[in-house]
């Protein structure tokens, strides 16, 4: 028996948002203003007009890839090193990356701050914290985190990675005072809030969101070819890296 797609979407939306007003709105919030049809369907035409959506249609939004992970989880390290970072290097003009190092950690409120327990122990909490501080302190955070996660020892190599990729004024001492101080603690609390707010809530890590949305289908596509997924999700003219340029590599030597 074939179940009508609209019915599935309606049921899905009702369970996602627990709301009936959106029952004909089949677009994720990030796309409500992407066309006149979806703005009307989702009942947000006025808001879209107020935010100049006709103009924003011309400058197409980058695809945001969110990664909820923990620093010592083998699957996270593989995905970040072999899939996410290489894809971003090629497609960073059409994609943004949101890293949330926390994963399956547990937060407990203590006096004036929070304490954390991590799935792979204290070293993982330290790795999460270093990466969290980097994300707050430097534009080079992603290359440094890639360097750490793809190395033999995430924690031991961190300092070397900072020296390799960080700006000259980014000192190891300043990172460590974030890691051991109130700033790091507060930033990690933000990661906990973001991770706990996931809908649906995460069942494993690495947990991927695309434009804030997680489905099994998006997760599977991200795991098998994030590159193709980002290219296909991007609404604007495809950059050469997405395939336009491939024919340039097709060159043959014939013997006559
Ligand atoms: C919409 O565009 C107008 C004219 O360019 C501008 O004055 C206004 O601030 C814009 N509104 C928003 C929400 O960006
Ligand atoms: C760093 O964290 C502080 C405190 O939460 C925040 O005000 C600031 O905007 C953050 N900076 C960046 C670049 O994320």
Cα gap 31→217, rounded to integer Å: 18
Nearest to 231 by CA among 76, 45, 91: 91
Cα(255) to centroid of ligand 1, in Å? Answer: 63
Average pLDDT (121-136) is 98
Residue 152 phi/psi, 5° resolution? -70, -30
First to last CA, the chain: 59
In the structure, which protein residues have their CB atom closer than 6 angstroms to any atom of ligand 1? Answer: 50-52
Helix or strand run (H / E) with residue 216: helix 216-233
The proportion of the chain whose per-residue pLDDT surpasses 90, expressed as a percent, equals 64
Q: How far apart are CA 109 and CA 115, in angstroms?
A: 6
| Nearest ligand to residue 51 Cα | 1
User: What is the per-residue pLDDT for 241?
Assistant: 83
Q: How confident is the model at residue 59 (pLDDT cuts 50, 70, 90)?
A: low
For residue 152, the CA-to-ligand 1 centroid distance in Å is 50
Mutate which of 96, 99, 136, 193 to test ligand 2's pocket (most atoms within 8 Å of Cβ)?
A: 136
Cβ atoms 90, 245 nearer than 8 A: no
Assign 58 a pLDDT band (cuts: 50, 70, 90).
very low
Please give the domain boundaries of the chain with CATH numbers for all domains: 29-59 (no CATH), 61-235 (3.40.30.10)
pLDDT digits (tens, 9 = 90+) for 193-239: 999 999 999 999 999 999 999 999 999 999 999 999 999 999 988 88
Residue that wins the pLDDT comparison between 175 and 243: 175
Atom of ligand 2 nearest to the CA of 137: 13
d(CA 14, CA 155): 44
pTM: 0.72
Contacts of 167 (CB under 8 A, 6+ apart): 138, 139, 140
Q: What is the pLDDT of residue 28?
A: 84
Instruction: Mark out the alpha helices in 120-181 (DSSP H runs).
Output: 122-137, 141-149, 158-165, 172-179
pLDDT at 53: 52
């Amino acid at each position: 028996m074939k179940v009508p797609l609209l019915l599935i979407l309606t049921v899905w939306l009702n369970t996602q948002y627990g709301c009936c007003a959106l029952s004909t709105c089949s677009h994720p919030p990030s796309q409500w203003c992407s066309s006149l049809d979806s703005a009307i369907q989702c009942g947000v035409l006025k808001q879209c007009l107020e935010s100049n959506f006709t103009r924003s249609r011309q400058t197409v939004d980058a695809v945001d890839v969110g990664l909820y992970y923990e620093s010592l989880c083998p699957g996270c390290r593989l995905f970040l090193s072999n899939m996410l970072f290489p894809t971003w290097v090629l497609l960073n003009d059409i994609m943004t990356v949101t890293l949330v190092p926390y994963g399956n950690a547990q937060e407990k409120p203590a006096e004036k701050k929070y304490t954390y327990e991590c799935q792979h122990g204290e070293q993982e909490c330290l790795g999460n914290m270093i990466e969290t501080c980097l994300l707050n302190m430097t534009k080079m955070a992603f290359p440094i985190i890639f360097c750490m996660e793809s190395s033999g020892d995430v924690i031991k190599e961190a300092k070397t990675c900072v020296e390799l990729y960080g700006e000259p004024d980014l000192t190891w001492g300043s990172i460590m005072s974030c890691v051991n101080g109130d700033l790091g603690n507060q930033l990690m609390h933000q990661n906990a809030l973001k991770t706990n707010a996931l809908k649906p809530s995460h069942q494993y890590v690495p947990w991927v969101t695309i434009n804030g949305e997680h489905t099994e289908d998006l997760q599977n596509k991200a795991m098998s070819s994030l590159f193709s997924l980002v290219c296909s999700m991007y609404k604007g003219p495809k950059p050469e890296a997405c395939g336009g340029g491939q024919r340039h590599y097709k060159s043959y030597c014939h013997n006559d």
